Each structure stands twice: as C-alpha cells, then as structure tokens.
Amino acid sequence: MTAQAWPRACGLLLHPTSLPGPDGIGALDGNLEGFLDFLAAAGQSYWQILPLAPTGYGDSPYAGLSAFAGNPLLIPAESLVELGLVPQERLRDCPSFPADRVDYGAVIPWKRALLAEAFERFAASAPAAWRTDFQAFCAAEADWLNDYAQFCALKDAHGGRPWSDWPAALRDRDPAALAAAMRELGPAAASHQFRQWLFFRQWQRAREACRKRGIRVIGDAPIFVAYDSADVWANRGLFKLDAEGRPTRVAGVPPDYFSATGQLWGNPLYDWRRMAEDGFAWWLSRLRHLFRLVDIVRLDHFRGFAACWEIPAAAPTAATGKWVKTPGRKLFAAMKKTFGALPIIAEDLGVITPDVTALRDDFGFPGMRVLQFAFSGDPKNQDLPHNYVTNAVVYTGTHDNDTTVGWYASRPGVGSTREAADIERERAFCRAYLNSDGAEIHWDFIRAAYASVAHTAIVPLQDALGLGSEGRMNLPASERGNWSWRCKLEDFTAASAARLRELARLYGRLPS
C-alpha cells in the first residue's frame, strides 16, 4: 500500500478484551457485532486492536506467550454451549464479574475450566467433520502450533514456571526428553491446539462480520517478543542467549528527560545476523500469519528496525546500554519481495533520528502523530496538526496515554511527571490552539484530528465516550490495574455515532 493508496478515513481503537459481555472479559460474540454496528453507523472505516496474543504474567498483550497464537480468553463461553461442548447450566454457575473491569484473577480459572471441559467432550464425541477440520487446522498451522502447544503443556506441568527453569533436557528441547514428555502430556498439548482451533474459527467469523460492514482491521505487532514465550523457547538460535538459554543482551530505551536511568524492558534481543542468514524466515512467517488475521499492521517501536538500545542482561538499569544498528532495510526489502505491497503503520514515537525517518519514508510507511504530545508551546512541534504530512496516522491518544479528558484534567504526581505550571501552560496553549474552552476537550481533539491532512485518524473509544482517567487502558511502568478497562453495551449510542459520522462527513473521511 503506497502513500497514495491510503484513503482519507477514520477509525476507533478498542481491544476485544474491552468489549462488554457476560464472560467477565470481552469476547468475540454478539457484543462485538454491536460494536461493529456502532462503527458502521459512525462512518468509521477501521477497527484498531492491540496484539491478539495469549497473555502471561501481568496480562499485557505486548508480552504474549506466542507471536502467532490467539488469546483463548476471547472465545465466548456461549459459543461452547452452541457447539454442544459445554452444557447451558454451566454458564449459570458463572462468577459475578464486574461489568466495567476485567478481573483476570477470576476470569482466567473460570474460562480455562470451561475450555478444558469442552476439550474433553470434543475428544470423546466430536463429529467426524469437526475432527477433520481440527486436524486440517493443526496441519496448516503446524510450523508454530506444535511448538506452542508443547510449550503450554510443559509450562502447565511445571507450575507456570518460565521455560528457562525447566529441567535442562526440556529447556534445551532434547528430542528424546521432549518425546517422552509428550507421551505423557500429549492430551494437554492437544487441548491447547483445540483452543487455538476454536479461537481462529471465532476470529474468522469476526473478520467476516467486519467485511460485511466495510470495516478493516488494524492489528499490532510488537517488535520484541516476551522471553518466556514459545517463540524464544523454540527458536533460541535467533536470539542473543547464552548456553543455558538466558539473555545476554536485553531491550530498552536510553535515559531521557523522563527517566535518568532509561527503561529496562528486558525482552531478549534478536540475533539479526542469524536471522539474515535464512532471509528473515521467522519474520516473514510472522507477518504472513498476521496479514491473514488483519488488514493493516502497526509495527510497534519502529525505531528498533534502524537501531536497538542493547543493555547487558545483568545491568540494573538501562543507562549502560548502547545503540546497535539493525538490518531493518534488508528486512523490509525481503517483506516487500515476499508480500508486494506492505500495509504497515510505523509507530515512530519518541526521539526519532534521521536514519529512522529515512527507513520509514523510503518504504512509504505512514508514521504516527499523537495530539496529546502536541501542546508543549512550540509551534514547530510535529504533533500539531498544521505540521502534519498527508502520509500519517493521527491519534488523539494511544493505549499508553491517559484518556484525553484525563490528560486535560491531570495534576502533578497523578500519572504525570509534569509540574503544575507546565501542566497549566500546556492546557492554555491547547485551548488557544483549538479555540476551545475545554468543556468538551475530547470532541475538540477529535475534530482537530479529523480536520488534519493526515490520511487516517484513529480515536480510542474512551475519547469518543468522553471518559476520564477511569478509562485508561495502560500506565507504562506500573504493574497493577492495566489492560482491564471495559466498555458497556449502552455506550454504543446513536447520538455518539451520529456526532462521529457528521465529523467524518464534514472532513471527508466517510467510506466511499
């Protein structure tokens, strides 16, 4: 997709876990269709999501157990009943979940128990057509599914411990030890394959529901994968690890205005030399898989495709890291040769150097602009709408930001590193720039995004609803309460849809 091929359009950002519904967590059910109806009524062309990966400790979709697998928690419990795999009365035993938050501690054991029960019935009495379809799915996805299923079965058998803490033979994937383990854990591994079969069946229904309404899906690909993942366990040679599989270098970002010691993320870094030797086969498989699930991919931490901040694994902070160049240009050339057009959005936030800009522009990828970053008082700030280029995607805020209403109401020390005078100066500049009194600051932001020359405007649903900080999805560097916000079915109002649609019409963003 070249810059000229992007239509002038708009969309909403909402991760499926944030949907309403009876499962205690958003699911790919009729409530999703209600949201898609809202998108269509609002004149939206895009539904943007976060990574669909199954999550581990901390529940972050950016630290998934696999870059290929889907999150089984999104499988609707009602769909298991409809398939005859769980009796209806089991749903009447559903815990009393909160409607506005995901209580992962309650949802995970309940949903896992239902899925385990469903697999037992499937294994015992599934119709032949289902078995054939399941076997065909396992064969088609074998290049990642077998490793993932074995990883999950072994992780469960070892009390959830990271793979690096398993017995050495299993940690190192000794063929004889792995075969012996799977003789005992084969049904457990098959259960994880079954959950993926259910997830991808459900996701394809969701995609068809999107297509019926003319909605395209923007997915998300984190540049790095979690250390405790099937990806690293099964592909140790592609990462900078020692002989026992522990990282020698990890990812992060250097010290800056916001942190004197930088950010120590801890993800293992790729051995790009090894990846280049086979033509970046793992990355091509990852993108091929993702392009089957979504229409457009947002590449997170795009600057890492030009250079990564490498930190010694034993370092206490990110301060001792250094920039190491990465072969992003060769990688994207391989992608272009394989896939042709590359419908990719570059998440180019932060301090971006000329080599990153050149990499983005040479491949025609639109970069990101975030309105919440715009109001420092510098009229040359690239996030101010009058400085945009057409080949860009503008956001009022992202999943890592406070909501727009929350941002406008922020105070020192409450999710903010800014001083009181800085906050008020920023607010005053914002009001002057938007010609706003701040009473409906979220709508002022949406109007500014839609009015800009950027070909795409994306708004988190929380901003369209005018929510305050209670609607925040993630507070970086915090460990609790993230990824849990949920909307309600009554939030999808005709009045909100009409207001969004009118702005889309006024600024030429309605679907053609």
**Could you tell me the domains of the chain?**
3-506 (3.20.20.80)
Please tell me the distance from the alpha carbon of residue 406 to that of residue 416, in angstroms, as a whole number. Answer: 11
Question: pLDDT, tens digit, for every residue of 346-398?
Answer: 999 988 999 999 999 999 999 999 999 999 999 999 999 999 999 999 999 99
The mean pLDDT value for 84-109 works out to: 95
Catalytic choice (141, 147, 220, 347): 347
User: Which residue type sits at 489?
Assistant: L
Helix, coil or strand: residue 393: strand
Catalytic choice (78, 174, 355, 400): 400
Q: What is the residue-averaged pLDDT of the chain?
A: 95
Please tell me the distance from the alpha carbon of residue 234 to that of residue 241, in angstroms, as a whole number. Answer: 13
300 noted as active-site residue: yes
Model confidence at 418: pLDDT above 80? no
In 3D space, the residue among 90, 95, 111, 127 whose CA is nearest the CA of residue 26 turns out to be: 111
Instruction: Grade residue 62 by pLDDT with cuts at 50, 70 and 90.
Output: very high
How many other C-beta atoms are found inside a 10 Å radius of the C-beta of residue 95?
Answer: 10
pLDDT over 90, % of the chain = 92
Instruction: Grade residue 416 by pLDDT with cuts at 50, 70 and 90.
Output: low
Whether the Cβ atoms of residue 61 and residue 24 lie closer than 8 Å to each other? no
Instruction: Grade residue 414 by pLDDT with cuts at 50, 70 and 90.
Output: low
Q: Strands (DSSP E) along 222-306, which ranges?
A: 249-253, 263-268, 296-299
Question: pLDDT, tens digit, for every residue of 207-250?
Answer: 999 999 999 999 999 999 999 999 999 999 999 999 999 999 99
- DSSP H helical segments within 294-353, as ranges? 328-339
The mean pLDDT value for 188-205 works out to: 98
Q: How high is the pLDDT of residue 117?
A: 97
Q: Strands (DSSP E) along 307-452, which ranges?
A: 307-312, 322-325, 344-346, 367-370, 392-395
Please tell me the distance from the alpha carbon of residue 321 to that of residue 249, in angstroms, as a whole number. Answer: 9
* Phi-psi sector, 308: left (phi>0), alpha (psi -120 to 50), beta: beta
Q: How high is the pLDDT of residue 257?
A: 65
Question: pLDDT, tens digit, for every residue of 37-51?
Answer: 999 999 999 999 999
Question: pLDDT, tens digit, for every residue of 156-167?
Answer: 999 999 999 999
As beta bridge partners, residue 212 has none
pTM for the whole thing?
0.96
Please tell me the distance from the alpha carbon of residue 415 to that of residue 473, in angstroms, as a whole number. Answer: 13
Question: pLDDT, tens digit, for every residue of 460-491?
Answer: 999 999 999 999 999 987 878 899 999 999 99
Q: How high is the pLDDT of residue 4?
A: 46
In 3D space, the residue among 373, 250, 372 whose CA is nearest the CA of residue 304 turns out to be: 250
Catalytic choice (23, 29, 59, 300): 300
Whether the Cβ atoms of residue 486 and residue 424 lie closer than 8 Å to each other? no
The mean pLDDT value for 322-342 works out to: 97
- Which two three-digit tokens encode residue 327? 């072969």
347 noted as active-site residue: yes
Instruction: Grade residue 77 by pLDDT with cuts at 50, 70 and 90.
Output: very high
Q: How high is the pLDDT of residue 3?
A: 44
Whether the Cβ atoms of residue 388 and residue 293 lie closer than 8 Å to each other? no
